[in-house]
Amino acid sequence: MNPITHSSLAFAADGTPFSEVYGDVYHSADGGLAQAQQVFLAGNDLPARWQGREQFVIVETGFGLGLNFLASWAAWRADPDRSQRLHFVSCELHPFECDDLARLHARWPELAELAGMLRAAWPTLAPGVHRLHFDEDRVCLTLYFGDAREGLTQLEAQADAFLLDGFSPARNPDMWSARIFHLLARRAAPGATLATWSVAGDVREGLRRAGFTVEKAPGFGAKRQMLIGRFTGPGSTDLANTPTAPGSPRRARIIPRAGAPAHARHAIVIGAGLAGSACAERLAARGWQVEIIDAANGPGQGASGNHAGVLRPLPSLDDNRMSRLTRAGTLYGWRHIERLRARGIAVRAEACGVLHLARDPAQQDKMRAVVERLRLPESIVRFVSAGEAGERCGWPVPLGGWWFAGSGWVQAPSLCAANLSVHPERIQTRFGCDIARIERSDVGWSLFDQTGGLIARAPVVVLAAGTGLIDFPQAAALPVVSARGQVSLLDAPEDSAPRVVVCRMGYVSPAIDGWRCAGASFDVDDHDTKLRDRDHLDNLAKLEAMLPGYTTAIDATRLGGRVGFRPASPDRLPMIGALPQPDQVSSATSLAAITRQPGLYAMSCFGARGLVWSALAGELLAAQIASEPLPIERDLCDALDPARYLLRPAPRTTRDD
């Protein structure tokens, strides 16, 4: 993905915000907020069209100052008959930095509260999808930072209304191209409407060819006309169900899309580790009733039970899927922790910084090249010399590497417990409960114990049982392996070195409650549950390679530690999504064409990156279950689909470094 270049603050002669890149203004000189309200909201017959719906999805082609989002949010808030949830999806190639947004938003004091919340959640300017939550998860903003042509290809959303708000076709023709219009058509829900200030002939003809019926309407301010329309391509609703020109009599409303009825919003999540607790919290945030069942006596007792783990990305020179997913997971994961804390829920975590040291001079050169190539914000990653690396961690090191300033450590059990405590009225926990089998019937999925007794029943079941995933016959075909991981615990006085997380073929944490974690081993199909001295020695060898001279006085035979068994996949990526039917398919079959087991989902194979994947994975799976816009790109969703292994031979699982 291409690096993001932020927009620079500039103004036209009359004071209207101006883009020096495109030589055009961001909104009408007659008023930005009024334009948003008359052209884009009234042009789509809003708020009337979202009233009474479970959810309503707006897709915008240019986020700019965020005025259309803020205006939509304000109108939704003020409407007592509003939809239960509002999704706003937008693309922006040149986003503003937060300080510049503050100066711009000051022009509209009536939006001060909402604009302040938007800026408080404003994401790091990195390419890809960023998901932000507001109003107790009832308003969701999905931002794609990058070219709209790529974003609309990658974003998964069914739009009820389109806001076409790029710079003028003469200044930014790519935003008004046939490709854009056809991509919008592919994202259109039945009866989707659109509105824009542009009435250019090429725009009207391009939209018509893509399947939209458009008409001119009275414009805003000095602009005599604007454009409104509806999608009339395959699957669209009655042509009469379209917005009218602002001020005209309202026509019949479009019938809302079918969603899960209220009585069916009930799920069982098997597993209370990072995966299961994250999924349960995200479903509960959507109003679902969730039962979470685990054989242990509390949350985070399995592979998610270590004293401290690392939450940070893993960049690559080509910004491959692993690189993009770990970046998205890290950014969303820290935002999730911040949201929990804002609600007064404690999570043991610290963004103290993570130092990833090079193994040798050749890798050091490659790490420097990765930083130069990706040009990510320094809060995500920058290259540091050996001297600065030593200063950062408080110990001399021979080589430099990556410094992740916004990353750090998390105590996983505290995060699991926090996830389960956010919505106590919607999440019911059942610990010490073994599930022997699950069965599908006309009324949903039933869970049984060893004696055949019924434990619970629900229309949706999520298998987040770690390595126990393939103990269920419905998931037995998946190539899941168990990787034994042993972590060593070292005595650690407070403020002793290292003061940050350090990684290099392993990791070591700062002092946390008098201990630091060092590890970890990764042994596939090794089922030994006991601590082993040889694994302590291996962990100490990794630590010594990171921090020369550090382990001189440490006796491996006197170390404490913990053994966990992590589920892993052959390609080191998680499995998140609907489970396929155990049918034979050809390699030419598409993922979308593979038959799924109704209401049965998997959330597993996080390997050594449970903290990196879990929060974003929970949001992804909850969005899939609820038929909402997805929080990551389409190709990344496909890369995580459990059915992917039906289409290709499974490679050998390697160490998850």
Task: Give pLDDT tens digits for 106-165.
Answer: 999 999 999 999 999 999 999 999 999 999 999 999 999 999 999 999 999 999 999 999
Output the pTM of the full model: 0.94
Q: What's the pLDDT tens digit per position in 129-141?
A: 999 999 999 999 9
Q: DSSP code of 380?
A: T
Q: Which residue blocks in 286-409 are alpha helix, DSSP H?
A: 321-342, 361-374, 386-393
Q: Residue 313: name the closest of 120, 127, 97 by CA.
A: 127
Q: What's the pLDDT tens digit per position in 307-320?
A: 999 999 999 999 99
**DSSP code string of 153-186:** HH----EEEEEE--S-TTT-GGGGSHHHHHHHHH
Domains present along the chain, CATH in parentheses: 18-231 (3.40.50.150), 263-301+414-478+570-646 (3.50.50.60), 316-340+348-409+481-564 (3.30.9.10)
Q: What is the mean pLDDT of the chain?
A: 93
**Residue entry with tokens 């350090």:** 502
Contact between 128 and 327 under an 8 Å Cβ cutoff? The reply is yes
**Rounded Cα distance, 477 and 494, in Å:** 48
**Rounded Cα distance, 491 and 510, in Å:** 11
**Rounded Cα distance, 61 and 38, in Å:** 17
The pLDDT of residue 242 is above 90: no
Q: What's the pLDDT tens digit per position in 489-498?
A: 999 998 899 9
The pLDDT of residue 477 is above 70: yes
Cα distance between the two ends of the chain: 23
**Rounded Cα distance, 277 and 60, in Å:** 33
State the average pLDDT over residues 196-214: 97
**DSSP code string of 502-558:** EESSSEE---BTTEEEEE---EET----S--HHHHHHHHHHHHHHSTTTTTT--GGG
Bridge partners, 19 (sequence order): 24
- Encoding tokens for residue 613? 């994947």
- Please, which contacts does 200-207 make with residues 24 or more away whose CB atoms are closer than 8 Å? 200/169, 200/176, 202/169, 202/176, 203/164, 203/169, 203/176, 203/227, 206/176, 206/177, 206/178, 206/181, 207/181
Model pLDDT, residue 303? 84
The pLDDT of residue 608 is above 50: yes
Model pLDDT, residue 237? 42
**Rounded Cα distance, 332 and 152, in Å:** 21
**Rounded Cα distance, 611 and 124, in Å:** 19
| Strand pairing category for 560-568 and 481-491 | antiparallel
Helix, strand, coil fractions of the chain, as percent rounded to 5:
30, 25, 45
Bridge partners, 483 (sequence order): 524, 566
Model pLDDT, residue 243? 41
**DSSP code string of 19-49:** ETTTTEESS-TT-HHHHIIIIIIGGGTTTGG
Model pLDDT, residue 110? 97
The pLDDT of residue 170 is above 50: yes
Model pLDDT, residue 442? 87
Model pLDDT, residue 153? 97
**Residue entry with tokens 């989902």:** 601
* Phi/psi at 130 (5° precision): -125, 130
State the average pLDDT over residues 380-392: 98
Binned at pLDDT 50, 70 and 90, residue 648 comes out as: confident
| Strand pairing category for 354-357 and 382-384 | unpaired
| Strand pairing category for 188-196 and 159-164 | parallel
3-state secondary structure of 291: strand
Model pLDDT, residue 652? 53
The pLDDT of residue 464 is above 90: yes
**Rounded Cα distance, 196 and 188, in Å:** 16
Q: Residue 105: name the closest of 23, 32, 19 by CA.
A: 32
Q: DSSP code of 447?
A: E
Percent of the chain with pLDDT over 90: 89
Contact between 163 and 196 under an 8 Å Cβ cutoff? The reply is yes
**Rounded Cα distance, 238 and 91, in Å:** 29
**Rounded Cα distance, 314 and 572, in Å:** 13
- Report the number of secondary-structure helices (H) and strands (E) in the chain: 15, 31
Residue type for 634, please?
Answer: R
Q: What's the pLDDT tens digit per position in 21-38?
A: 999 999 999 999 999 999
Model pLDDT, residue 305? 87
Contact between 271 and 463 under an 8 Å Cβ cutoff? The reply is yes
- Cα angle 526-530-531, degrees, rounded to a multiple of 5: 100
Q: Residue 539: name the closest of 521, 552, 551 by CA.
A: 521
| Strand pairing category for 289-294 and 266-270 | parallel
Q: Which helix (H) or strand (E) holds 284?
A: helix 274-285
The pLDDT of residue 428 is above 90: yes
- For 580-609, letters b (16+ CB in 10 Å) and e give bbeeebeeeeebeebeebebbbbbbbbbbb
**How many C-beta atoms surround the C-beta of residue 235 within 10 A?**
11
- For 78-109, letters b (16+ CB in 10 Å) and e give eeeebbebbbbbbbbbbbbeeebbeebbeebe
**Rounded Cα distance, 324 and 327, in Å:** 5
Query: Crossing angle of helices 412-421/274-285, nearest 10°?
Result: 20
Q: What's the pLDDT tens digit per position in 41-60?
A: 999 999 999 999 999 999 99
State the average pLDDT over residues 476-502: 94
Examine residue 520 and say whether the peptide bond preceding it is cis (omega within 30 degrees of 0). Answer: yes
